[in-house]
């Protein structure tokens, strides 16, 4: 796939899709700069990944034959994120791929903390993506080898859910917002052969979906999740399904693909 010897910067790397991206790319000979918050956010209603989860990602990447520089960093904090990225760049010497994957969601009410829920989701899922590109694009440009940026959006970035919850609204707004960011970057970076795309997964097995808070919503047929149905008879995707698509998207096989929103959704957005 033309990936051997490249370096990828991945956020939210401790578990779920982020870990799957790191391991999949490692198998193609890609070294990894990985960051994760590894701490809970008080306004969210499920636990984030832990330092132990990040350590497990490190072991899996090494087992796949690649190097990894892993740091705990918050994508909401530009200086913290830049310090983590710079550590990886200094050790691995280059960056070719950026996967802005870190994200959070809260679909249950949180009526007493509406503004905080909105702020935390927008800060992580939209501003955090912008921070990720801000710290990495200068190195991509300086490398002069082109490159690829993939931003994890969602089916909610194509087809927003009907909900009055602040988390559902913030999530859809952020996931639609990163599409606009992607398009502006794709046009600006195209002369440098740096491709920028968004992916839009349906439900994927991860800590974000496999938790007590989400289970309660499904059990009560909450409106926030009742409409989440795929067209294909596939209830939920595996993180490796998304990682396989991303590996193609960042590879030389997709050298002509930029500025697109790629649904990875089992027909969800066609319904």
Residues noted as catalytic: 171
What is the dihedral sign for C-alpha 61, 28, 33, 104? negative
Rounded to whole angstroms, the Cα distance separating 240 from 18 reads 10
Q: Are 99 and 199 in contact (CB under 8 A)?
A: no
Non-local (6+) Cβ contacts of 156 within 8 A are 171, 172, 175, 176
Rounded to whole angstroms, the Cα distance separating 127 from 174 reads 9
The DSSP bridge partners found for residue 99 are 10, 150
2 φψ region: left (φ > 0), alpha (ψ -120 to 50), beta (else): left
Residue 215 has φ and ψ, to the nearest 5°, of: -60, -40
Residue 23: Cβ within 10 Å count? 20
Q: Are 184 and 133 in contact (CB under 8 A)?
A: no
């Amino acid at each position: 796939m033309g990936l051997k010897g490249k370096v990828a910067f991945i956020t939210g790397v401790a578990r779920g899709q982020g870990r799957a991206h790191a391991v999949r790319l490692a198998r193609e000979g890609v070294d990894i700069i990985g960051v994760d918050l590894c701490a809970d956010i008080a306004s969210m209603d499920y636990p984030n990944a832990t330092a132990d989860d990040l350590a497990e990602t490190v072991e899996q990447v090494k087992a796949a034959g690649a190097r990894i520089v892993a740091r705990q960093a918050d994508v909401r904090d530009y200086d913290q994120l830049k310090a983590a990225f710079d550590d990886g760049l200094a050790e691995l010497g280059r960056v070719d791929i950026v996967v802005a994957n870190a994200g959070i969601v809260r679909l249950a009410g949180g009526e007493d903390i509406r503004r905080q829920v909105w702020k935390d989701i927008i800060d992580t899922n939209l501003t955090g993506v912008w921070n990720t590109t801000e710290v990495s694009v200068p190195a991509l440009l300086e490398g002069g080898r082109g490159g690829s940026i993939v931003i994890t959006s969602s089916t909610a970035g194509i087809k927003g859910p009907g909900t009055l919850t602040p988390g559902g609204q913030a999530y859809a707004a952020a996931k639609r917002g990163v599409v606009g960011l992607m398009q502006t970057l794709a046009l600006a970076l195209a002369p440098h052969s740096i491709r920028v795309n968004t992916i839009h997964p349906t439900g994927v097995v991860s800590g974000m979906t496999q938790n007590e808070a989400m289970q309660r919503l499904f059990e009560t047929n909450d409106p926030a999740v009742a409409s989440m149905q795929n067209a294909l008879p596939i209830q939920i995707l595996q993180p490796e399904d998304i990682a396989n698509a991303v590996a193609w998207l960042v590879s030389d096989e997709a050298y002509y693909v930029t500025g697109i929103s790629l649904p990875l959704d089992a027909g969800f957005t066609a319904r």
